[in-house]
Amino acid sequence: MTSPRKNVPVAELIDLSGRGAIVTGGASGIGLAICHRFAEAGAGVFIVDAEGEKARQACRELEENGYEADRYCADVSREAEVRDMVDTAVTKLGSIDILVNCAGIYPRISLEKMTGDDFERVVAVNLTGTFLCGREVSQRMVAVGRGGSILNIASIDAVHPSGKGCRLMTPPKVAWCPSPEAWRWNWGGMTSGLTLSPREQF
Ligand SMILES: NC(=O)c1ccc[n+]([C@@H]2O[C@H](COP(=O)([O-])OP(=O)(O)OC[C@H]3O[C@@H](n4cnc5c(N)ncnc54)[C@H](O)[C@@H]3O)[C@@H](O)[C@H]2O)c1
């Protein structure tokens, strides 16, 4: 049986016009798909990615489709870059209503071969990056006082480890503890399954 909603455009399901959304890791894969859906729903999209050229291409793709988008090259694990990124996003978007922490790395390295540096880099991007972006954005949201949504893209492997997930993936993101004022802990939106992404790291 087919769902009657299967092909309903996003814009008919949700109106995000006037809202500003930061998507980290927005230049590729899941993050880029989220940027497109947000833009279709009317949001101003701010793509943040460590790979500047990819972010530029993603931004141009959105603009060619008639959407409003900006980009910023930053490494989410670096505190000063995150602070500057959020300041710029406020200027460009007017307000930040949504943050999606989607930047993440999942190197294909088995535990016995993993170095301390490999491990620390995953923690720095997946955990520290999520914390830094969440903190900077939640400060702005609390100051403005009209709420907002922060979504952390993690992995089903964080709660139900598979053979692949046991290597080293996104569990650090789920280990991060949100503050009650700015965060809504919503497991209702959880889905499982692999998403094919350009890096094909699985
Ligand atoms: N693809 C899947 O099936 C799957 C499964 C479980 C979890 N995830 C998680 O979903 C998220 C997105 O995955 P994807 O498959 O779309 O990956 P992807 O590699 O296609 O996209 C990740 C993006 O994050 C950017 N990035 C990496 N490090 C960064 C940093 N330090 N600062 C800023 N940007 C950085 C990359 O340049 C890239 O554009 C990741 O957090 C990943 O762990 C994906």
Is the CB of 101 within 6 Å of ligand 1? Answer: no
Q: Give this prediction's pTM.
A: 0.86
- The maximal CA–CA distance of the chain, rounded, in angstroms, is 51
The answer as to whether 190 is a domain residue is no
Which residue's alpha carbon is nearest to atom 15 within ligand 1?
A: 197
The answer as to whether 4 is a domain residue is no
Looking up residue 63, the CATH number of its domain turns out to be 3.40.50.720
The answer as to whether 38 is a domain residue is yes
The answer as to whether 91 is a domain residue is yes
Structural domain harbouring 102: 15-169
The answer as to whether 181 is a domain residue is no
For the chain, how many structural domains are there in total?
1
Burial 64-81 (b: 16+ CB within 10 A, else e): eeebbbbbbbbbbbbeeb
Is the CB of 77 within 6 Å of ligand 1? Answer: yes
Which of 24, 36, 81, 102 for a ligand 1 pocket mutation test, highest count of atoms within 8 Å of Cβ?
102
The answer as to whether 135 is a domain residue is yes
Query: pLDDT in tens for each of the 202 residues of the chain?
Result: 556 667 788 888 899 999 999 999 999 999 999 999 999 999 999 999 999 999 999 999 999 999 989 999 999 999 999 999 999 999 999 999 999 999 999 888 888 999 999 999 999 999 999 999 999 999 999 999 999 999 999 887 776 666 555 554 555 555 444 444 444 444 444 444 556 666 544 3
